[in-house]
A and B are shown apart, each in its own frame.
Chain A
């Protein structure tokens, strides 16, 4: 189970990479493992405002359809169009080419996020 140290995590198993006012979202290795093979990712519109904790995308696996929640607030600036043809990138490379959206963030919600160490402990519980 891979949990990179440079990312922050939510209790709903999303990760976020925050660089200044830019943030990238995805789902964790644990999340993709639990969901099984992803067969479809419903992406949001660029320009949409999302609040921390709000569902911004939907991932569909052979087992289930699940909402994906925003770790922090902001406005969506880019979506990962590659997922439309290759939803399996979420399975094979959840922290890399399997990213879902990039947003311009105001940072709201970041105080709730977990570090790699906290998320590891959270998963063990």
Chain B
């Protein structure tokens, strides 16, 4: 954890980790756990049942025609299916597959790079690219930005891919062009990866290595010169963000005819040391930690993602998700504790906020649950969710949590209003 420096006049500068560690391949785990999103109409996974044999790369979905699916990362048999609830109440079915060490590849994947293939096979690829953005008739996506730099601190999974798999990204870029018809494909990388990025065929843009410059909204503002309006997504502005890892997965899949079922993940131990490993999607986190010699004790924090934006999970038996770029283990004594102290109006959050939100006023409204006022008067929807306000808060108010809660509550109100109309 980076502490405030003795000379506190300058605001803290959190630097991204820029040196991708060497990647180590993990062996095929004895089982994988894949989270299949429940269909929106609430139907159950009728097409799958315990005891089914699955092949590597096989598309598993609740019903043959449903949009939600997972790609099996191993060959074996389904040994358990259980309901699972995500942090914001999303419902999943956790499918446990007992794996055999020998892979048998499923051959339903065809090598024609069309948007349909993207929708049908790559939503569960590493990096979870959401090709649904291209099907939205209201937005025309003209620009694709490949994130060659990880969004959160400590993590180097995507930088690792840019460094080692530039050729894969190159064919991925070609495939993306054919699939989406986007005019412009950029790759955003830190300074030290420009050389590798130049070989990918995408337009290279350099991102400064200070947090939060690699968040999509910041890249939009600094690199593309387009400011995302409050409450809009980057897709609303006609830009699609995709992780470098996902592009490399596209490239290799169309070259070899086999879907990418592995994922690079940065594992950070309690001492802050990081290692990169390549593991099958769905590998139990416990297996990953053991392979990296990271110990986990009671009262520790197990964070999926990075230290600023990740989410602490309650169990080490969950599987590695396709969008989990990092696993951070934090000791009890190192973890940041929040308090219920009020805001003392010191102004640290205002000075560090990258989008100039008056956080001191915002947090007062959020504490009083005046979410609509907070959005109308104090720029709640401008927040790009970097978490820096919580990081510097002297009162240790969980500001970021308040903001996420407010946005969630407002989204519920919106859904309810839409249903009433």
Q: Do A and B bind each other?
A: no
* Chain B contacts to A: CB under 8 angstroms: none
Point out residues on A near B: beta carbons under 8 Å. none
